[in-house]
Chains A and B, each alone.
Chain A
Amino acid sequence: MKRLLAIIIDGLLGASVGALIERVIVPALLDTSGAADTSYALLASGLGAAIYIIAGLAAKSSIGGVSLGIDTPEGRSLRTVSHLGWLTLSVFIVGGWIITAISPIEFFSGDGLAGAGRIFQALITPEFDIIGEAVSAMIVTIFTAFMATVVAVPISFLLSFPAARNVMSETPLTKTIYVILRVILNIMRSMEPIIWAIIFSVWVGIGPFAGMLALVVHTVASLTKQYSEQIEDVNSGPIEAISATGASRIQVLWFAIVPQCVIPFLSFTIYRWDINVRMATIIGFVGGGGIGTLLTQYQGVAKYNEVGTLVILITAVVWILDVVSARVREALR
């Protein structure tokens, strides 16, 4: 089974290397914009995959096998694996350089440097006339994050018990609920808050409410995971002891599990609020309201002195919150 997976990894690596050479590196060298015929790309991928797989089978060890820990190559086979590894890395770096359009010429060009100079100049000579507007937008952002955390905490708290393996291990039904809940939470967490913000800004209109809802979704997903992992980590002794008194299921949760989790829960929650303030800023860029929205407005009309004010304010608030939340979490331990 693992061998099959190793062969698939080798095949994918070989195919990527073949495709990168044919689609990206060769056209760049020949200064053409890539052959239109996709059959060449397929041919190159197939060839790459075949070479990697056959080399792996011939050497009795391969990159895929090593990365899964089932191969420990020596001598000749080690040389084969390491040659293929270096080849892969080089092709990826060269291909990646071309794809991301890295251009030292533009980075160091006179025009470019002058532009950068203007922006930095503007940023370090901030326009403090807008400070009132900036502070009130910052307050909107901080409270967007705060309210998102406040709304998310009770939801996460209730969800964290059915999302904890040790609470749900009793019957097949509870195990199924646990697995389904975990999958949903993982999907919710994989979707960036910025995507949720786009969805909610269409749903409830652009503004702090959309930003808050986006943060609530992401916060629920993250906090539930952290809370439930904490629940899975509790000492089972008190659970036994409270069960032995004839306590009901809910009583066992409340008296044996919750007291062991309160402090870590608080600590996670404060940290999450801290993260949410940063996220609320970013979410503002796509219509979540607050200082992020203000920043995009001034940036859109190239008022970089005003942007400078906002950047300084954001940096200061994030830094202060970071220090404060770290201190509080330290004290809670």
Chain B
Amino acid sequence: MQPLLSVRNLTLTYPNGYQALKGISFDVMPGEFLVIIGLSGSGKSTLLRCLNRLLEPTTGSITFNDRDITHIQGEALREHRARIGMIFQHFNLIPRHSVIKNVLYGALGATPTLNAMLGRFSDDAQRRAQEALQVVGIPEKAEIRADSLSGGQQQRVAIARALMQQPQLLLADEPVASLDPSTSHSVMSYLERINKEMNTTVICNLHFLSLVRQYATRVIALKNGEMVFQGSPHDITDEWFATIYGEDAVEVEIR
């Protein structure tokens, strides 16, 4: 089977000289639920943002669907981003706009600029937005302002927005880091359903190892911009844990 995504010797140096990624290589197969772990500042978020090219890598290459997307620009870049959904730690919804509008914004990549600005989304997009809200279980919230929802509900709206893109790949950057434990599991189970039922590949940054063991099919660990572990979530022994998180770290459970 061909990998969906191939990352080779990826480095990224920020303009201020900080080296966030130092030669990362890995493959992602279609249908995987890949989790990236590591301390804050280890390069997880930077890596994720290279994959949908919110950031441009310094050297190395990223191949998606057999296409080199490392340095694409303009129209090609927008098409690439539109194929990849993304959700964020702070949800990043447009606060004053309604839930359904926020979901529709997932279709911006496929909507002509002027039509979108006039609020004209295609009938197909309108229908799929309703469906996406059904999938995440909050169809009744469609007309409510996004910032009046709870954190967990906002994250579900963000997932619905990502689903609007009909993504081949879903990126999740610390999706549960600002949620409480029970809501965390609810959001993670939506990601799991999208992964299993819609066969969407998921790459997710996580902090809690208990969540990693429950949801990941494979794990990558970063430390100071380098990949220090790659394997099954059950292979993360205490020694690996100490290597990834430092000698003094104690594992925290979330149930």
Contact = CB atoms under 8 A, between A and B. Distances in A.
- Are A and B co-members of a single complex? yes
Contacts of A247: 78, 105, 108-109, 116
B128 interface: no
B230 interface: no
A241 B95 CA distance: 13
Contact of B117 (A243, A245, A254): A254
Given A237-B92, A245-B164, A247-B109, 12 more contacts: A237-B90, A240-B49, A241-B86, A242-B94, A242-B108, A245-B107, A245-B161, A246-B109, A247-B116, A248-B78, A251-B117, A254-B116
A255 interface: yes
A245 B109 contact: yes
B133 interface: no
Interface residues of A, number: 20
The 5 closest A-B pairs by CB, nearest first: A246-B109, A246-B82, A241-B92, A237-B92, A247-B108
Interface string B107-133: 111100100110000000000000000
Given A256-B94, A259-B94, A245 B88 contact: no
A245 B90 contact: no
Given A241-B86, A243-B54, A248 B113 contact: yes
B81 to A, nearest CB: 4
Given A250-B113, A256-B94, A259-B97, A244 B105 contact: no
A238 interface: yes
A241 B87 CA distance: 8
A241 B88 contact: yes
Contact of A246 (B79, B158, B161): B79
B82 A238 contact: no
B106 A245 contact: yes
Given A250-B117, A251-B113, A255-B105, A244 B84 contact: yes
A245 B82 contact: yes
Interface of A: 237-238, 240-248, 250-251, 254-256, 259-260, 262-263
B116 A244 contact: no
B113 A240 contact: no
A251 B106 CA distance: 12
Interface in B56-82: 78-82
A251 B116 CA distance: 8
Interface SS of chain A: helix
Interface residues of B, number: 35
Contacts of B108: 242, 245-248, 251, 255
A248 B116 CA distance: 11
B52 interface: yes
A32 to B, nearest CB: 63
Contacts of B91: 237
Contact of B81 (A238, A245, A255): A245
A241 B93 CA distance: 8
A248 B105 CA distance: 12
A29 to B, nearest CB: 60
A38 to B, nearest CB: 53
Contacts of B164: 245
Contacts of B97: 259
A251 B92 CA distance: 16
Q: Which interface residue of A241, A245, A259, A262 has the most chain B CB atoms within 10 A?
A: A245
Nearest to A262: B96
Nearest to B107: A245
B97 to A, nearest CB: 6
B165 A245 contact: yes
18 contacts: A237-B91, A238-B93, A240-B92, A241-B88, A241-B158, A243-B54, A245-B105, A245-B109, A246-B80, A246-B110, A247-B108, A247-B116, A250-B117, A251-B108, A251-B117, A254-B116, A260-B94, A262-B96
A46 B92 CA distance: 62
Contacts of B109: 245-247
Nearest to A236: B92
A171 to B, nearest CB: 11
Contacts of A254: 116-117
A246 B165 contact: yes
B158 to A, nearest CB: 7
A246 B69 CA distance: 14
Given A247-B78, A255-B116, A237 B88 contact: yes
A236 B85 CA distance: 18
